[in-house]
Amino acid sequence: MANDGLLPKKFFAAVHPKFRTPYKNTMLVGLLAAIVGSITPIDDIGKMVNIGTLLAFVIVCIAVMILRNTNPDQARPFRTRGCRSFRFWAYFSTAI
């Protein structure tokens, strides 16, 4: 995301010379997770994780729906039987 200009490139795109991983970003996220985990009650963390998982599922469902409508001729090598009904149930279950 930093290479695309969505995050500050100097900090978030820095790659470790030996391991070739984004080490500054990993340390920052780990530090923030440790701080939030140390001051937030476990019940609240559980609720946030559940809401985050549901939100990720909703975003994926919406993205699939948008991509299927905006780019219908895209090659789809993986096919699922009953895809239309699965999409319906995925959208319906996230709307509840």
pLDDT (tens digit, 9 = 90+) per residue, 41-73? Answer: 999 999 999 989 988 888 888 888 788 889 888
Higher pLDDT, 68 or 15: 15
Tell me if 30 sits within 8 A of 67, measured CB to CB.
no
What span, in angstroms and rounded, lies between the C-alpha atoms of 27 and 35? Answer: 12
| pLDDT at residue 72 in the model | 80
76: helix, strand or coil: coil
Per domain, the residue ranges of the chain are 1-39, 42-96
State the Cα–Cα distance between residues 42 and 39, nearest whole angstrom: 9
Instruction: State both tokens at 15.
Output: 């790659």
Q: What is the pTM of this model?
A: 0.56
